[in-house]
Chain A
């Protein structure tokens, strides 16, 4: 498939080794960057390409780089703390093509005049971390990292850092706290990391997929990258398709591809499991509002998904079929935020707990009619009133779920629990 960029050749045997990666144009982007460009020119190139952050917020990458304060030392941190439920692309990129990420890290470090870069890998992804560590060691041995890289006079240290189990550390300020050896509590913003980040220095934090895209933009140019996707959402992204779909998996597609193609096309999802009806789509990881089946023809770009009432988020597209109880599914999602709330601020710590309690009694019996509105009311006390975006994220599925599937919540109250409890999610 010609449109593949970041997953190109991903199944080539041995791609995780330096030798094979080089046979697939590996480190040519870095060579070009060091020999033909000044750092500032690379920042402009990234702006021109239209690449936007693939972690969740979709912030323009080049613009982020250009915001870095001029003071030194500066730091780069690759956010590979992939933990958003429904998202599994960064793990694949690290396991199968770690050198692509490492090359992206080196180019970005050069563009941002960074001397020390970190790759923060989620603790649970032990194999991915070993793969990246090995790639970094190979790159050191080959002279792509270290002193005077390829005779350019530019020097860089890269440290692979493993987390230890905390979703909140995917939030950039908590990630920096964690990397500095503290509990993963988010920091107050501003100051933003570009001004005051790691060890007080200006810091650029980019997602793993974002950095893995950088080498191909270097090799082929920003105009080429801009030929993929839509006018405002350029390029491709790896959509992580999961849930009740026949062929779940990672599919790289141009931004602006309709959900219908991803879910039903034989080359991708191949339709709903058991040929059931589609009930709901969670388009960008569990933190994004749920969309109804009527949104199937919405295109998967940042703008169109936002216009439909949700967000592109992390690219984790979770499919829910007619057989699944929405109250049960939303309960499961909410339990996650309760468990992962760091406890620093009251609205999130208490709110996620009480939301779970209410959903639990709706699902398992004892729920009252007023609980439904109480859920929405608690969400109103979390969203925008929590210290960091985790609080907002916890409300997405509930607010959208009650809006779209209110009659199901009412039915739970009337029947004193879930009518589908025995049958829910029974696939195997």
Chain B
């Protein structure tokens, strides 16, 4: 569901640019924030607000790698595998995380908690290897640090689940 507030943000963005179409990328970002990924409803909403066809919006949304087209985990772990991180051992880091999470790169854990993905150079080569958790940087990542980070994220998610459901057992996929 795209909220009225989000639609209003899209409309005001469209009005800021010399041509409303320029608001397409930011509007898709908003749609994704709202629903976790770019849904058919998100595409339709953006199309309606910017006066474009849904196919047109879809063609743009599928060009850019930051837009997800299906649900992803609550925590998206994006490991940089660019050349500078490669020279500092990022492949071992990815393998380590694959083992720890029990999924391959590009996959989401069955409980919908974690998505592991590999990224192109993230502009943090001076602090390689690096990863992002939901878009925020974690730098100079050693295997020990990765372990500690995963422990911390798991604890955080568990605590959230207990808060959200009195039974504490829900493993429902987050939208």
A153→B16 CA distance, assembly (Å): 21
A336→B82 CA distance, assembly (Å): 7
A-B contact count (CB 8 A): 161
For B148, what are the chain A residues with a Cβ–Cβ distance below 8 Å? none
A282 and chain B: residue at smallest CB distance: B83
> Quick check: A162 and B92 within 8 Å, CB to CB?
no
For A249, what are the chain B residues with a Cβ–Cβ distance below 8 Å? 126
B146 and chain A: residue at smallest CB distance: A428
For B124, what are the chain A residues with a Cβ–Cβ distance below 8 Å? 88, 91
For A316, what are the chain B residues with a Cβ–Cβ distance below 8 Å? 125
> Quick check: B18 and A83 within 8 Å, CB to CB?
no
The answer to whether the Cβ of B55 comes within 8 Å of any Cβ in the partner chain is no
With contacts A162-B26, A181-B22 known, is A88 near B86, CB below 8 A? no
Smallest Cβ distance from A186 to chain B, in angstroms? 13
Tell me the interface secondary structure of chain B in the complex.
mixed
For A161, what are the chain B residues with a Cβ–Cβ distance below 8 Å? 22, 25-26
Interface 0/1 of A158-201, CB less than 8 Å to B: 01011111110000000000111111100000000000001100
> Quick check: B82 and A164 within 8 Å, CB to CB?
no
Interface 0/1 of B11-34, CB less than 8 Å to A: 000001111011111101100000
A82→B125 CA distance, assembly (Å): 12
> Quick check: A329 and B135 within 8 Å, CB to CB?
no
> Quick check: A425 and B89 within 8 Å, CB to CB?
yes
For A327, what are the chain B residues with a Cβ–Cβ distance below 8 Å? none
With contacts A181-B21, A428-B142 known, is A243 near B26, CB below 8 A? no
Interface of B toward A, CB cutoff 8 Å = 16-19, 21-26, 28-29, 50, 59-60, 63-67, 81-84, 86-89, 91-93, 119-129, 132, 135-137, 142-143
12 contacting pairs across A/B (C-beta < 8 A)? A87-B123, A88-B126, A116-B18, A122-B123, A123-B29, A164-B25, A181-B60, A182-B24, A183-B60, A243-B88, A243-B125, A336-B83
Given contact pairs A165-B66, A319-B87, A336-B120, a sample of 11 additional A-B residue pairs in the complex whose CB atoms are under 8 Å apart:
A86-B125, A122-B123, A124-B123, A126-B135, A162-B29, A164-B28, A183-B59, A198-B18, A243-B87, A248-B125, A425-B89
Interface of A toward B, CB cutoff 8 Å = 73, 82-88, 90-91, 116, 122-127, 157, 159, 161-167, 178-184, 198-199, 240-244, 248-250, 282, 286, 316, 318-320, 324, 329, 332-333, 336, 339-340, 342, 425-428
